[in-house]
Structure 1
Amino acid sequence: MDFTMNESQDAVAELVVSLLERDSARDIALWPKLVDSGLLSVALPQRYGGDGLGLLEVSAMLTELATDAVQVPALTTLGFGVLPLLRSAPESLAEKVFPAVADGAVLTAALNEPGAPFAMKPETTATVDGNTVRIRGRKVGVPYVDRARWILVPTDSGLAVVDAEVPGLERAQSPSGTGAPEFSLYFDDAEIPAEQLLSGGIPELYRYALATIGSVADGLLKGIVTLATEHLRIQDGVSRENTLAASRTIADICIASRALHAIAQSANWALAQNDDSAEHHERVDNGLDVLAYYVASELRATIRMCHHLYVADIATAHPLHRYYSQAADLARWLGGTSSGSVGLKDRFSSVAKTSDRSSEGISTGRAIADPAVV
């Protein structure tokens, strides 16, 4: 398998880099510039003014944004919203959602229920009554609800696409590592048109969410490597022993970054293939399980290795804080290493031993991830 970026992926990545070089904003203030750049239209069908590209180009964009720890709703809008809907939305729904995304509308998804991240059998219910569907239940840790136009909500009857301002939906803000808006949602007979309940859309939502979370994690570690090496380069008057210790730490970070990059590239490439066979879905889910486990178990630990490289305290104004807080939120959305994801918890037990061997090598700087995992 050749994971080399193609021309369209390179073009998307270069456009993101160019945008970040021209604009210093790394938070929601950058969102209008992303809209104006046309990047949000990368994956939209051409009939809606998009470029008709797909997961790999979206992942290239998310990775480059994460390299500078940019905090905008690109992951939720594209990874949690557009990509799943491309596979499952009827034309009547697509006509409402996709042109709005091109104009800057934010999408998000309610991936988790209390104590149940990425639940394949959600307790949230959707009751069909003629042309109307009534939704009842609770979701937690839903990002950017205050800015979202639509929310993708897994229910016991399929994937519901809910207007964020629908009557019967209450929200309560909850804390997040980055300070970005995040909410618990309470649905009390919130009504949507029957056409906005998509049967069979939940597995696709979870697959794309995991793949794009992995791409963001890949970018965060790529950015951390840059920070760490630049910090070592500008040091002056540091003892040889301290320099060698710092070099070993940076080597460990580089190894972890390369391992995550390989795992993320492999999982994204597999998911991007046009193959609906059961065998292919099994391979995709296995790769995504490994990616989810690695992000949940290794991402924060690797970023934490950077802390002792800095003599001064790491305050919130320091760039390192932005990387670590995003990593913490990603791991929390996945449920951490103690919980499964995508409803494939049984498989985690088989992946964990292999990933633990990989992390042992990373902690000592002597090995990268087991090739069998990648």
Structure 2
Amino acid sequence: MDFTLDDVQREIADLASVVLRKELDPDRAWRALADSGLLALALPAELGGDGLGVAEVTMVLTEVGRAATPVPAFTALALGVLPISRLGSPRQRAELLPGIASGDSLVTAALHEPSAPLVRRPATTAVAVDGSWSLSGTKIGVPYAATAAKILVPASVLGGTGVFLVDPHAVGVTLTATRNSSGSPECTVGLAGVRVEETDLLEDRQSGEAIATLHRFALAGAAALADGTLAGALELTTAHVGSREQFGKPLARFQAVAQEIADVYVASRTLHLAAMSAVWRLSAGLDADADLDIAAYWLAEEAPKALALCHHLHGGLGVDVTYPLHRYYSAVKDLGRFVGGTASRLDKLGELVG
């Protein structure tokens, strides 16, 4: 495996970094990402995109994490653009993707059910009724559900599973705002006999490959975003302990401080390697499930511990809301919850060797 970025990927990462460090206001940063074409990388050429894939999209997510900019890039790209580009019909792609690329609309995904993160056999059901579908069930932790143009909703159908495009304001949909660490919009979505047309069912309804593809893109995006987030927190903390003096010398020169910052470095580099391995295999069309599970476990188990060390090394400054460290910590906590938490990810790893 060669994880060296090619010229296109390096240019994407550099451009995203410049945009995000120039525009500190989230709304302006989001508009700048769209105007620079970074939200259109995976769109097909006929829709004004570059026809690129998951490897290039995750370059953007990593830089969003590194800057800790609170924009809906993960939702738009990992939960919207990538799965629709792969699974959507030509009509669905033409209807939904240009709006996401322009920054004017979002598509999100409802991947979790009560006590069942990233559920593979949903309790939510879809029943064929008079040439359409009727969906019933409950989804939790759905990002940007209230403002999304559509929600990708996995549901069990007769003989398998399907992924449906649901209007969040359709009759039978209830949206209940829920809290998270970062304060970004999130809802519990209730579905009570919601009617969905046949044309709003993504391809491959029976084999379960659609829901598996949706999960793979979600995990790859989460790992890439967390990779950048932890790297950004490490940079921030390294700069702090290198410049803050105590007893007449920089904090970084104290052995205990040096050991703790080294622990954060090890966690950051390991998450980076795990994320890059998973994305590389996914982009190459190889079986990436094991690598994604490893990256998700490291995210859930080790990234929050590393951020706790960053807080410790900052002292009281770390909890000041005018200082950026809290954005990194809250982002990592939300991502760890999104992938299911440590126990859930450990169960997934156990299935690999069971």
TM-score, normalized by length of structure 2?
0.92
Q: Which residue of 2 aligns with 1:337?
A: 342
- Helix, strand or coil at the partner of 1:306: helix
Give the aligned residue type for 1:231. Answer: H
Q: Which residue of 2 aligns with 1:74?
A: 73
Superimposed CA distance per residue, residues 286-344 of structure 1 (whole angstroms, 9 cap, x where no aligned partner): 11111111111111011101122123251232211101101111111122111149xxx
Superimposed CA distance per residue, residues 48-99 of structure 1 (whole angstroms, 9 cap, x where no aligned partner): 0001111011100000110011111111111011111222111121121112
Give the aligned residue type for 1:160. Answer: F
Gaps of 5+ in 1: 275-279, 353-374
Decide which of 325, 348, 352 is 2:330's aligned counterpart. Answer: 325
State how far apart, in whole Å, the 2-side matches of 1:100 and 1:348 are: 40
> Does the 8 Å CA contact 1:293/1:348 hold for their aligned counterparts?
no
State how far apart, in whole Å, the 2-side matches of 1:91 and 1:145 are: 24
Give the aligned residue type for 1:34. Answer: L
Larger deviation: 120-129 or 94-103?
94-103
Give the aligned residue type for 2:228. Answer: G
State how far apart, in whole Å, the 2-side matches of 1:351 and 1:13 are: 36
Q: Which residue of 1 aligns with 2:49?
A: 50
Q: Which residue of 2 aligns with 1:125?
A: 125
- Helix, strand or coil at the partner of 1:5: coil
Give the aligned residue type for 2:22. Answer: R
Q: Which residue of 2 aligns with 1:140?
A: 140
**Given the alignment of the two structures, is residue 271 of structure 1 paired with residue 282 of structure 2, yes or no?**
yes
> Does the 8 Å CA contact 1:69/1:322 hold for their aligned counterparts?
yes
Give the aligned residue type for 1:323. Answer: Y
TM-score, normalized by length of structure 1?
0.87
Matches within 5 A, 1:97-112: 97-104=96-103, 105-112=105-112
Using the TM superposition, give the Cα deviation of residue 103 of structure 1 relative to its aligned residue in structure 2, in angstroms: 2.4
> Does the 8 Å CA contact 1:300/1:327 hold for their aligned counterparts?
yes
Q: Which residue of 1 aligns with 2:221?
A: 212
Give the direction of change, closer, same or farther, for the CA distance of 1:246–1:296 in structure 2 (3 Å limit).
same
Q: Which residue of 1 aligns with 2:155?
A: 155
Give the aligned residue type for 1:83. Answer: L
Give the aligned residue type for 1:44. Answer: L
Using the TM superposition, give the Cα deviation of residue 237 of structure 1 relative to its aligned residue in structure 2, in angstroms: 3.8
Q: Which residue of 2 aligns with 1:18?
A: 18
**Given the alignment of the two structures, is residue 223 of structure 1 paired with residue 232 of structure 2, yes or no?**
yes
State how far apart, in whole Å, the 2-side matches of 1:116 and 1:8 are: 38
Using the TM superposition, give the Cα deviation of residue 214 of structure 1 relative to its aligned residue in structure 2, in angstroms: 0.2
**Given the alignment of the two structures, is residue 196 of structure 1 paired with residue 223 of structure 2, yes or no?**
no
State how far apart, in whole Å, the 2-side matches of 1:220 and 1:51 are: 26
Q: Which residue of 2 aligns with 1:173?
A: 177
- Helix, strand or coil at the partner of 1:53: coil
Using the TM superposition, give the Cα deviation of residue 22 of structure 1 relative to its aligned residue in structure 2, in angstroms: 2.2
> Does the 8 Å CA contact 2:47/2:98 hold for their aligned counterparts?
yes
Give the direction of change, closer, same or farther, for the CA distance of 1:28–1:137 in structure 2 (3 Å limit).
farther
- Helix, strand or coil at the partner of 1:189: strand
> Does the 8 Å CA contact 1:113/1:139 hold for their aligned counterparts?
yes
> Does the 8 Å CA contact 2:271/2:298 hold for their aligned counterparts?
yes
- Helix, strand or coil at the partner of 1:117: coil
> Does the 8 Å CA contact 2:154/2:211 hold for their aligned counterparts?
yes
Using the TM superposition, give the Cα deviation of residue 20 of structure 1 relative to its aligned residue in structure 2, in angstroms: 2.0
Give the direction of change, closer, same or farther, for the CA distance of 1:241–1:39 in structure 2 (3 Å limit).
closer
The percentage of counterpart residues that share the same residue type is 38
- Helix, strand or coil at the partner of 1:141: strand
State how far apart, in whole Å, the 2-side matches of 1:340 and 1:349 are: 10
> Does the 8 Å CA contact 2:294/2:349 hold for their aligned counterparts?
no
State how far apart, in whole Å, the 1-side matches of 2:226 and 2:353 are: 19
> Does the 8 Å CA contact 1:171/1:183 hold for their aligned counterparts?
yes
Superimposed CA distance per residue, residues 104-157 of structure 1 (whole angstroms, 9 cap, x where no aligned partner): 211111110000001110000111224321111000011111221111111103
Using the TM superposition, give the Cα deviation of residue 28 of structure 1 relative to its aligned residue in structure 2, in angstroms: 4.1
How many residues align structurally? Answer: 341
